[in-house]
Amino acid sequence: MPRYSILAGIAKGMRLTGEISSYLNEENENEMNSPSYSIGPGFPHPQKLVVGYALTSKKTKSFLQPKLQGLARNKGIIFVAIDQSRPLSDQGPFDIVLHKLSGKEWRHIIEDYRLKHPEVTVLDPPDAIQHVHNRQSMLQDVADLNLSDCYGKIGVPRQLVVKKDPSSIPDAVGKAGLMLPLVAKPLVVDGTAKSHQLSIAYDQLSLLKLEPPLVLQEFINHGGVIFKVYIVGEAIKVVRRFSLPDIGEHEHLCNDGVYRFPRVSCAAASADEADLDPSVAELPPRPLLERLARELRRRLGLRLFNIDILREHGTKDRFYVIDINYFPGYGKMPEYEHIFIDFFLSLVQGKYKKRLMNNC
C-alpha cells in the first residue's frame, strides 16, 4: 500500500495499525523504536519518513555521515539502501528516493519507477539530471536568463562546442571571436575522473592538440577564489574555495601548449577562513543568488545541485556561472545535516497539504 494512501486514509479519520513496520526491511527493523515525525498541526499520528537511496559507495560515505543519520533518526527519518539487484517497485515503500548513479540502465529504472509511483518524490528526474551532464546544455538556462539588473550581472563565459576534428578548432575559435587562453572541458560529465580532466590552452597551435568532444570556454580572471552555491530545495548556502590564479599578460605570453590542471576547487579545504583581499572574497549579493537559484530550480527542474560562480577580478558585480553539478558533495557544506532534514520534512508536509486540499 503506498504510504500516501495511508496519509490520505488517516486524514479521513482511519487509524494506523502497525502497517508501517511491514514496509521496512529487516536491517531497518530496530529503527522502528526511534522517534517518528509528525507532519503538521492537527495531524497527531506519528509516521516514519523513509528515504531510499541509490548512491555510489563514495557518495554514501560522504553524504550519509553518522551525524546526519543520527539527527534524522531523532526526527523519524530513516535511510534505506536500495538494492540494485532487485526490482525497485518491490522495495520500500519510500517517501523519497535519492539517487546519483550513472548509466542508461539506471535512468530507465528510475524513470519507470517515477511513472509507476507518482506518490514518491524522486530526487531528481533523470531527464533533468541528463541536462546538466552536458556542459553546453547545463549553462544554456543561465545564458537565457536576463539577470543583468539584479544587484549585479550574471552570465556565462563565451564558449564554443567542438564535437570532432581538432584541426577545425583554431578556425572556429577565430570565427567565434573567443580570446585565448581557453579552458578546455570534456563536453559530457558522466561521473568519471576523465570527464573532470580540464586543461588550459594558451595559444592557437595548442588548440590542435585538444581532444573533442569538448567545450572551449574563455578563461575568466577571478582572483583565485570561486563561489560554490549549494542548493537544497529552497535553501541556499554559499562557500568559498580556492581556485586557479589569474592569468596575466606575462603568464599568457610566457606560456604555450596545453596544461592539464587538477580538480583544485573540489578539494575539501575551504577558503572561507583565509585572509583574502575583501574585494575578491566578498560573497555575491544574496538577492542575486536567490533570484538565480529560484530561476534555475524552475528551469532545470532540479532540487539538488550546486552552481560554481566566478567574480571577474577587478569588478564588483560581474559574475559568471561556469559549472552546474547535480547532487554535489554536500558533505562539505556547513550544516548540511539540518538543511537536508528540514528539506525532507518540507517535502512530505507539502505533499500532505496537497492531499488534504484535494480531499476537501
Ligand X SMILES: Nc1ncnc2c1ncn2[C@@H]1O[C@H](COP(=O)(O)OP(=O)(O)OP(=O)(O)O)[C@@H](O)[C@H]1O
Contact residues for ligand 4MY (CB under 6 A)?
58-59, 62, 100, 189, 191, 228, 266, 306, 325, 328-329, 332
Strands 318-326 and 153-155: parallel
Report, in Å, the least distance between residue 217 CB and ligand X. Answer: 4
Per rule CB under 5 A, is residue 31 in the interface with Mg ion?
no
Between 110 and 309, CB nearer to ligand X: 309
Query: What is the arrangement of strands in the sheet containing 77-81, beginning at the earlier edge strand?
Result: 77-81, 49-55, 96-100, 121-123
Q: Which does 191 bind (CB under 5 to 8 A by kind): ligand X, ligand 4MY, Mg ion, none?
A: ligand 4MY
How far is residue 356's CA from residue 13's CA, in Å, rounded to a whole number?
Answer: 12
Report, in Å, the least distance between residue 330 CB and ligand 4MY. Answer: 7
Residues 191-210, one symbol each (x = binds ligand X by CB under 6 A, - = not), give -----x-x------------
Q: Which does 339 bind (CB under 5 to 8 A by kind): ligand X, ligand 4MY, Mg ion, none?
A: none
Per rule CB under 6 A, is residue 183 in the interface with ligand X?
yes
CA angle, 38 then 40 then 44, to 5°? 55
* Helix 137-144 × helix 286-300 angle, to 10°: 120
Strand segments (E) across the chain: 49-55, 77-81, 96-100, 121-123, 153-155, 159-162, 182-186, 198-201, 214-218, 225-232, 235-242, 258-261, 304-311, 318-326
- The number of C-alpha atoms within 13 Å of 88 and in the hemisphere containing its C-beta is 23
What is the phi/psi pair of residue 352, to 5°? Answer: -65, -45
Per rule CB under 6 A, is residue 325 in the interface with ligand X?
yes
Residues 265-294, one symbol each (x = binds ligand X by CB under 6 A, - = not), give xx----------------------------
Annotated binding residue 329: yes
Report, in Å, the least distance between residue 346 CB and ligand 4MY. Answer: 22
Annotated binding residue 227: yes
Report which residue type is found at 36.
Answer: S
Per rule CB under 5 A, is residue 308 in the interface with Mg ion?
yes
Residue in the shown chain whose Cβ atom is closest to ligand 4MY:
329
Report, in Å, the least distance between residue 338 CB and Mg ion. Answer: 25
Between 246 and 290, CB nearer to ligand X: 246
Place of cell 488517516: 10
Report, in Å, the least distance between residue 356 CB and ligand X. Answer: 40
Between 31 and 308, CB nearer to ligand 4MY: 308
Residues in contact with 210: Cβ distance below 8 Å, sequence separation at least 6, in sequence order: 162, 166, 169, 184, 199, 201, 216, 258
Report, in Å, the least distance between residue 202 CB and ligand 4MY. Answer: 25
Annotated binding residue 175: no
Per rule CB under 5 A, is residue 323 in the interface with Mg ion?
yes
Between 141 and 308, CB nearer to ligand X: 308
Identify whether the C-beta of residue 231 lies closer than 8 Å to the C-beta of residue 297.
yes
How far is residue 305's CA from residue 64's CA, in Å, rounded to a whole number?
Answer: 17
Per rule CB under 5 A, is residue 306 in the interface with Mg ion?
no
Question: Can you read off the three cell numbers belonging to residue 276?
Answer: 583574502
Annotated binding residue 221: yes
Beta-bridge partner residues of 217: 159, 183
Identify whether the C-beta of residue 281 lies closer than 8 Å to the C-beta of residue 240.
yes
How far is residue 196's CA from residue 329's CA, in Å, rounded to a whole number?
Answer: 15
Report, in Å, the least distance between residue 250 CB and ligand X. Answer: 17
Per rule CB under 6 A, is residue 132 in the interface with ligand X?
no
| Residues near ligand X, by CB under 6 A | 157, 183, 185, 189, 196, 198, 217, 219-220, 226, 243-244, 263-266, 308, 310, 322-323, 325
Annotated binding residues for ATP = 135, 185, 217-228, 243
